[in-house]
């Protein structure tokens, strides 16, 4: 196929159906933002369901949420906020071709994500131990057990789905780490780090709303 385009050396990462890298990067950003919006609507459904049920079972939800550990929730919030910082620093490093800093920031983000999951593990163990389980498995008694059970259903669904996204994010970030160590990214091409970062910030954003709704208000 003959093309009368410029003969500048293309990045090895320029895909054949794009004329320029900028076009490819822009398209990738649009695609990622569209995907993030689908995540917002997916979690949004859970938030709306929670809001409606909270309105209908106000007292039960308030009682139930007292069982959540505010310190641990706040700790996890801080962990994720810092991980968002390390992530944006990773993108910054890639954009300035600072390979070592990029690798370190990605590793830090992954480590913080792991820490988040460890904290969640302790929280979940505590709930299991106390019988504070979703739906039909709720065994903790107390006033308004049906409403409290429903609160914990939402607690586990929302934090569980969020946790799965953290895990998915860790996998993506690990892959980015591997590629970074192979020297794929520099100021000429760092789109995957950028896009991975966008995903990670969204996961952080969802927790920014989950924390007050579940832990502080109920």
Give the footprint of other proteins on residues 167-196 (CB under 8 A). none
- What's the closest the beta carbon of residue 156 comes to other proteins, in angstroms? 8
Taken as a whole, the chain contains a residue count of 218
Q: Tell me how far, at minimum, the Cβ of 44 lies from other proteins, in Å.
A: 4
Residue 118 engages other proteins in binding (rule: CB under 8 A): no
3-state secondary structure of 3: coil
Q: Using the minimum distance from each CB to other proteins, give the nearer residue, 22 or 129.
A: 22
Q: With residue 148 as reference, give the H or E element that holds it.
A: helix 145-181
Please state, as a whole number, how many other Cβ atoms lie within 10 Å of the Cβ of residue 4: 5
Q: What's the N-to-C CA distance of the chain in angstroms? A: 63
Residue selected from 14, 21, 72, 88 as contacting other proteins according to rule CB under 8 A: 88
Site for other proteins in 6-65 (CB under 8 A): 15-19, 23, 26-31, 33-49, 51-53, 55-58, 62
Task: Judge contact between 185 and 179, C-beta under 8 A.
Answer: yes
Question: Tokens 């502080």 label which residue?
Answer: 216
Q: Which of 157, 174, 186, 189 binds other proteins (CB under 8 A)?
A: 157
Burial class of residue 144, CB neighbours in 10 A (0-12, 13-18, 19+): middle
Of 122 and 137, nearer to other proteins (C-beta) is 137
Applying CB under 8 A, the site for other proteins has a residue count of 77
Q: Is 87 in the site for other proteins (CB under 8 A)?
A: yes
Q: How far apart are CA 92 and CA 165, in angstroms?
A: 23
Restricted to residues 193-212, the positions that interact with other proteins (CB under 8 A) are 197-198, 201-202, 204-205, 208-209, 211-212
Q: Which helix (H) or strand (E) holds 25?
A: helix 21-56
Per-residue x/- mask for other proteins, residues 91 to 110, rule CB under 8 A?
-x------------------
Rule CB under 8 A: is residue 142 a binding residue for other proteins?
no
């Amino acid at each position: 196929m003959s093309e009368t385009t410029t003969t500048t050396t293309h990045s090895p990462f320029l895909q054949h159906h794009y004329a320029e890298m900028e076009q490819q990067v822009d398209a990738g950003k649009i695609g990622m933002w569209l995907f993030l919006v689908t995540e917002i609507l997916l979690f949004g459904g859970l938030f709306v369901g929670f809001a409606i049920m909270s309105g209908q079972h106000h007292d039960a939800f308030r009682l139930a949420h007292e069982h959540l550990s505010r310190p641990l929730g706040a700790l996890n919030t801080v962990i994720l906020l810092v991980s968002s910082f390390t992530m944006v620093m990773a993108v910054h490093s890639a954009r300035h071709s600072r390979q070592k800093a990029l690798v370190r920031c990605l590793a830090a983000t992954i480590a913080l994500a792991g820490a988040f999951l460890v904290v969640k593990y302790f929280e979940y163990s505590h709930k299991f131990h106390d019988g504070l389980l979703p739906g039909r498995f709720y065994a903790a008694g107390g006033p308004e057990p049906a409403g409290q059970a429903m609160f914990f259903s939402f607690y586990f669904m929302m934090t569980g789905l969020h946790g799965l996204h953290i895990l998915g994010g860790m996998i993506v970030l690990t892959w980015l780490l591997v590629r970074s160590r192979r020297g794929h990214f520099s100021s000429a091409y760092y789109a995957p780090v950028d896009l991975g970062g966008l995903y990670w910030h969204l996961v952080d954003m969802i927790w920014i709303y989950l924390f007050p709704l579940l832990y502080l208000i109920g």
